[in-house]
Amino acid sequence: MIYKFSPSSLNLLKECPKCFWLHFNKNLKRPSGIFPSLPNGMDGVLKKHFDKYMEKSALPPEIKDLNIKLFEDKELLKIWRSNFKGIQFTDTDGNFLRGAVDNILVKDNKLIVMDYKTRGYPLKEDTAHHYQNQLDLYNYLLRKNGYQTEDYSYLLFYHPLHINEDGSFVFKTDLVKMNVSIANAENILKNALSILNNEMPDSDENCEYCKFAEKRKEESK
């Protein structure tokens, strides 16, 4: 069987192997809740914000101290940002991986992935760590497409700080530099295919979805 992955769908494997297996092999997907629109709205605003500086060959204040420049191929960046196109790679067995980046930086002809994150609260000590796999997979995709990337990426966090007297919001930014591992990305894909090509695994002991399904099953007996 041939599979189509994205960084977000592969993240399900980390949450629960059984849910992951059912999602891809039985098309049984977790119920989706209401997704807040604010992050998507912020994402669009931030891309326009950075693109204005890119068109002037300048850097926005959030990253003005970095020794880099913004990726200037607007048409290619538009493709890489698209959830329907993105950066793609197909392995020799036909398995497909696609990821959509927020932005790309350039240093000495090497690319650097930068991802925007909107939060309601300041960062915790382990906040950035939750996005490690995502960054590793983005870099894996770029390298599989023949691009050189630095061995690190950036997460740019925004969270609300206060409201001005005119009603406008002020956001605080935190720029976090993250080392990336192509080996980790390869292991994620290898593990995903190994699980999907075998019998259904056990649930993660903390999976609330599986606990709910098991409870309903018991109640229906």
Residue 60's pLDDT is what? 97
Q: Express each pLDDT in 125-171 by its tens digit.
A: 999 999 999 999 999 999 999 999 999 999 999 999 999 999 998 99
Q: What's the mean pLDDT when you consider all of the chain? A: 95
* 5 beta partners: 97
* pLDDT tens-digit map of 92-123: 999 999 999 999 999 999 999 999 999 999 99
Q: What is the mean pLDDT of residues 38-51?
A: 91
Determine the pLDDT at residue 85.
Answer: 97
Identity (one letter) of the amino acid at 55? Answer: E
**pLDDT computed for residue 156 by the predictor:** 98
Residue 201, C-beta contacts closer than 8 angstroms, at least 6 positions apart: 17, 18, 21, 195
Chain centre to alpha carbon of residue 162 = 28
pTM, 2 dp: 0.94
CATH number assigned to the domain covering 4-219: 3.90.320
